[in-house]
Amino acid sequence: MNKVFPLAVIAFAILAFATLMLVILPAAQIRTIDPPPGLEPYTAAEKRGRAHYVDLGCYYCHSQQPRSPSQAPDLQRGWGRATTPADYVYDDPHVLGTMRTGPDLMNVGKRMPSQGWHLTHLYQPRAIERSSIMPAYPFLFEVVDAPAEDDVVVPVPAEYAPENGGVIIATQAALDLTDYLLSLDRSYPPANTELRDLGFERGGDEG
């Protein structure tokens, strides 16, 4: 029983040390990072799209963290240079992701800059990539008999066209999500010189 007090002190010291090293110091370090010159803050629409990205669990299958050539051939895969902390200054919460069931999306806006492509792909991935295992998100779209002037019509192959006729139009959620995807472009040179010295710049000027 008389060992309880020293044990409690040691346990508290370990917890306090872990909190300092894993929470307080990293937070202080990140707070001092400036946005890189090539990165714009998200617009209102992109922010809404980002919230849908989180809600719909896109990050369960997609990472947003291309790795350095010493770790993975992400550059050859066309996913872009290794990211540095500055690339994430506007990301809250972060959506780094851990799984790569689908491709890394950190630079998908640069790689696939077509709004129409993304809308069709979200409506039905298999309309574009026959063997895709990505879920379809038809609830982000509506079927109408005749589109209004400012509706964005989504073209799909005949086999995925609405059964009872009509055309598919994108909802605001689909448009916002697509805006967010198109904003994903970290192809500017990495900002953090410290990391550049570590060899992180390789492929920085790719694409």
Question: Which residues lie near ligand HEC (CB under 6 A)?
Answer: 53, 56-58, 60-62, 101-103, 105, 108, 111, 118, 125, 129, 132-135, 137, 177, 181
Least distance in angstroms from the C-beta of 116 to ligand HEC: 13
Of 134 and 144, the one with the shorter C-beta distance to ligand HEC is 134
Of 87 and 176, the one with the shorter C-beta distance to ligand HEC is 176
Of 105 and 169, the one with the shorter C-beta distance to ligand HEC is 105
Least distance in angstroms from the C-beta of 57 to ligand HEC: 6
* Residue partners of 41: CB distance under 8 A and separation at least 6: 35, 90
Least distance in angstroms from the C-beta of 4 to ligand HEC: 49
The residue at minimum Cβ distance from ligand HEC is: 102
Q: If you search the block for the tokens 């005949």, which residue do you land on?
A: 158
Q: Tokens standing for 163?
A: 């059964």
Q: Within 10 Å of residue 66's Cβ, how many Cβ atoms?
A: 24
Hey, CA dihedral for 17, 19, 20, 25, is it positive or negative? Answer: positive
133-136 long-range Cβ contacts below 8 angstroms, 24+ apart: 133/101, 134/61, 134/102
Least distance in angstroms from the C-beta of 21 to ligand HEC: 34
d(CA 69, CA 77): 11
Of 19 and 172, the one with the shorter C-beta distance to ligand HEC is 172
